[in-house]
Amino acid sequence: MKTLTITVLLILGSACLAQPVDGQETHITLETAKELGRTKSRFLKETPADTKAVDAIPAANVDHFQALVAPLLNKSCLACHGSEKSEGRLRVDQLNPDLLTGPDVERWREVYNVISNSIMPPEDAPDYALDDVDRGNIADWLSGELNKASLIRRSSKVHSSFRRLTKYEYNYALQDLLGLPYALANTLPPETASEDGFKNSSELLQMSAMQFETYREIGLKALKRATVSGERPQPVTYIISMQDEMNSAASGKDPKTFDKSDESYRKQRNQPHLFNRETGTGVRFAAGKSMPQPEAVAGQTPPVSPVVLVLTRSKELKLDLDRFLPDEGIMRVRIRAGRSTMNPDEYASLRLIFSAHTSNNANFSQVVSERDIPVTESDGNPQFIHFDIPLSDIQRNPFRKLTTTFPRRDEFLHIHNVSNASGGEEQLSILIDYIEISAPFYAQWPPKTHTDIFIASDNKSDEEVYGREVLNRFLRRVWRRPVTAEEVNQFMALFSKYRPGFSTFEEAMLEVLATALATPEFLYLTQRETTDAAESPAIISELELASRLSVFLWSSIPDDELLKLAEQGKLRQTDVLTNQVQRMLADPRSKRFSQNFVEQWLGLDRLNSVTHVTDSSLREAMHEETIAFFDEVLKHNHSIMDFIHSDYAMVNERLATHYGIPKVYGPHFRKVSINPQTNRGGLLTGAAIMTMNSDGKDSHPLKRGVWMLKRILDDPPPPPPPNVPEVDLTNPEILKMTLKERIADHRNKSACISCHSRIDPWGIAFENYDALGAYRTQINDKPVDATSELFNRQTLAGMDGLKNYLLTDRQDQFARAMVHKLTAYALGRPLSFGDRADIDSLTANLRQRDDGLGDLIQLIISSNLFNTK
């Protein structure tokens, strides 16, 4: 039966290849290609492989090889891969046919790939051609043996999911544990990415003494930040009322006042100014100085004033706050603002910038607001917008405490209007009548972060009892499991040692808690050997599953709900688990998954190292697009084939402009329908991909090809051999060539052809996209030639042709690659040969469920792989 299936597949595949390469294929729409390609899936035809370890140990079927396979290989392969010639350093006649114990499994897998993908024997060698039956025979034997070998290897699996948390996971874990929304782990060294691009790969997550000490420092510092001592500090409060500012500006020396009826008003109104809406008078006002008001109380709502500050697009108010802001704590900035016009296509938002100018040439300025906050209400019904800025985390003026006046001590807060407003008579401005700045700001005292650690208790007066209560609660969350009394005793003993050195219980306890934050059970994802005879030794416990889940989907530790379900032994119940995964994906923390997985999967770090993107808003939009797109597919359980092509795009205004998609306004990403003429859809045509795979001036087909093979098809090309000849750019003949000709010239050198012919055609198909990913039809006045031919003679007519080919013929490969990448990320370890059968089975299940990304997450989580050590 199996033989038959594969033969059918091969016939289908060959039939497709046999089509004339006159572009006929590209006439079918990509949507049709999706459907057609799906019918070819081998995963839809086979019953999913039984992935449970078989009882009898499988044995190698060498007899079948000798009888049937070897003669075929001899006939069709040995001419190039035998004793006479051994291209690719492969000698098929010397491969050990015992895949289960022999050393040649990896080479056999290559043979399997080229045979089953009809890449070998080459089409231009008709003497050695394999007919479909023979091809099927080889492929069938190989696939069976490879699967058996995979199952054998399972019991001696090389990689473990026991690993340290990554830098970003540790940061989120600490944030979630302590309730602190700040970057806490910046002092840790960055992580190295694995071959697959993943930073959470167990093999690479090392630990050194320096790193260990950094964990201890970060832990103690974060705990001190989360807790408070003594009385509630008196905040410093600045109140800026535009009515008052107008009064003093108008009475100042040489006030630049004007009236709405003035000739000059058209010019004046574009500059920051104060404006009395009742009288129509205004005065220029771009910078103010404010001093703290000792009597002022923050959090007020005074009556709306007729006098407002008017900020048009890109304009700002610069407030000199002198030198009175405290060193630490939250600075809450409350701004009452409204929009002058309500055109829904226009937006206006507020951004905060902090700066100082300490002496000539010694200045700095820095955006301190995490994101721009849009003003959505009209000026008739203004809204309060607030920003919380952690004062100890931003660049401050180091001279603010000097007793002398030089270098200058002042600090400045800029309130900036970020907008897409167009000019004209009735242009959109932000109107502000009231600003309040207060620091340190506490919503309650003591803050929740404090009472989460030093919990309310009747036993507070008894340090022995209360200490245990604090530790019991804290350790449970740190270790993500119930804690024993002995374990608490150990920490209480440390507390007793520390206590005499400190004046308060809290100070001593923080040092103890900091020690808990340096324990391996916080820093690592553990998987214990089970002592319970009833449990299968390979299965991880429910508590371990809870941690694995939360690290996968939240890049952090489990919350209380997950932990409770695991403690009660309910988490693994099918419906409970499904519901929990849904809940976790609906939680904002799942954005971390989309971001970290996509960044690592696609290798987006490279976007930060290219130097030719000069517009930072474009760079940010490119980066965000890929994540927003993944998020969209995930949240709506769309097919993963949408990554290859979709009839929608995720864009904001900046990116839509770049792509030539009209009528998209505002900085937020949203789904828009696109037509084929947009030349977008899916991830491949994202500007981020094109930009990071460019050389700084122009497209870089080689980089794009390698990227495509590595990241999308999970078929990485071998690294370049040593002593590759460089393209000689001093040769006038070569200088005259187009890029594509140059590549072809290089490829045709014998040393290069074997690899480049596998890589370049993929990259050339991207040629319609320039170094910033903009679509082009001409390069240096010559029409773009983005047509290429793959190693197997398949023609790729540009991006459409490439997408068409992938959708028609490579769906299985992409689906399997996607499963592979997501599973490697979910497990935090490289997948080995031993995981092959599980990946196949997951892929089959995914394909049967119509390729939904949300389904894939559920499938992975309920898989054997995810639930075992």
Partner 1 sequence: MNDKSMLLSRRAFLRGTGVALALPWFESFAAAGPGAEETPKRFVSVYHPDGVGLPLKSDPAWQDWSWFPRGGEKDFELTKVLDVLEPLRSEITIYSGLSHPAARQVHGHSNADQYLTGAPIGGEGPYRNTISLDQVYAEHAGDFTRHSSLVMSTNGGVGGPRGAQTQSFNREGRPIPAMNRPKEIFDMLFVTSGKDAAARLARSKSALDLLIDNTRSLGRQLSSRDQETLKQYLDAVRDTELKLTKAQRWIDMPIPEVDTRNLHLDAEPKEARLYFQTMYELIYLAFLSDSTRVATFQLGRENGEGPHDLLSLAVGLHGAHGLTHEVKKPDGWKNLGTYNRYQAEEFGRFAQRLKETPEPTGQGNMLDNTLAMHGSASSSFHLSRNYPIISAGGKNLGFNNGRYLKFGKGNEDNQAGAGIDTDAGWTAKVEVEELPLAKLFVTILQRLGVETDSFGGYSGTLSRV
> Please, which residues have CB within 8 angstroms of residue 569's CB and are 6 or more apart in sequence?
542
Strands 316-320 and 287-289 come out as parallel
360 vs 780 by CB, closer to partner 1: 360
Residue 864's CB is within 10 A of a number of other CB atoms, namely 17
CB of 34 to partner 1, least distance (A): 43
198 vs 791 by CB, closer to partner 1: 198
524 vs 648 by CB, closer to partner 1: 524
Instruction: Classify each residue of 191-224 as buried b or exposed e, where b means 16 or more C-beta atoms within 10 Å of its C-beta.
Output: bebbebbbbbbbebbeeeeeeeeebeebbbebbe
CB of 461 to partner 1, least distance (A): 25
206 vs 279 by CB, closer to partner 1: 206
Contacts 24+ apart (CB under 8 A), 715-721: 715/113, 715/813, 715/817, 716/195, 717/755, 717/758, 717/759, 718/755, 720/755, 721/751, 721/755
144 vs 407 by CB, closer to partner 1: 407
> What is the spatial distance between Cα 745 and Cα 193, in angstroms, rounded to a whole number?
33
CB of 829 to partner 1, least distance (A): 11
363 vs 582 by CB, closer to partner 1: 363
C-alpha dihedral (68, 73, 75, 79), degrees to nearest 10: -160
CB of 830 to partner 1, least distance (A): 14
CB of 568 to partner 1, least distance (A): 22
Closest CA to 385 of 399, 370, 374, 400: 374
352 vs 687 by CB, closer to partner 1: 352
CB of 660 to partner 1, least distance (A): 31
CB of 398 to partner 1, least distance (A): 5
Closest CA to 837 of 105, 161, 149, 158: 149
Tokens in use for 488? 């608490």
CB of 527 to partner 1, least distance (A): 7
16 vs 188 by CB, closer to partner 1: 188
> What is the spatial distance between Cα 226 and Cα 517, in angstroms, rounded to a whole number?
14
487 vs 745 by CB, closer to partner 1: 487
Strands, E assignment, 391-462: 412-419, 430-439
For 607, the enclosing helix (H) or strand (E) is helix 605-609
520 vs 716 by CB, closer to partner 1: 520
Where do contacts with partner 1 occur on this chain (CB under 8 A)?
160, 162-164, 186-187, 202, 206-209, 211-213, 216, 356, 358-367, 395, 397-399, 404, 406-407, 490-491, 493-494, 497-498, 501, 511, 514-515, 518-521, 523-524, 526-529, 869
Residue 314's CB is within 10 A of a number of other CB atoms, namely 10
574 vs 609 by CB, closer to partner 1: 609
CB of 102 to partner 1, least distance (A): 25
Strands 670-673 and 778-779 come out as unpaired
State the angle between helix axes of 798-809 and 30-39 in degrees (0 to 180), rounded to the nearest 10. 20
Closest CA to 240 of 428, 411, 438: 438
CB of 561 to partner 1, least distance (A): 26
3-state secondary structure (DSSP) of residue 547: helix
Cα end-to-end span (Å), the chain: 34
CB of 163 to partner 1, least distance (A): 7
CB of 319 to partner 1, least distance (A): 19
CB of 358 to partner 1, least distance (A): 4
261 vs 360 by CB, closer to partner 1: 360
Half-sphere exposure of 583 (CA within 13 A, CB side): 13
> What is the spatial distance between Cα 857 and Cα 869, in angstroms, rounded to a whole number?
19
Which residues, listed in sequence order, are joined to residue 106 by a DSSP beta bridge? none
> What is the spatial distance between Cα 264 and Cα 280, in angstroms, rounded to a whole number?
13
Strands, E assignment, 73-220: 163-164
Which residues, listed in sequence order, are joined to residue 645 by a DSSP beta bridge? none
> Please, which residues have CB within 8 angstroms of residue 868's CB and are 6 or more apart in sequence?
538, 539, 540
Cα three-residue angle 801-806-808, rounded to 5 degrees: 90
CB of 352 to partner 1, least distance (A): 14
Tokens in use for 244? 């008052």
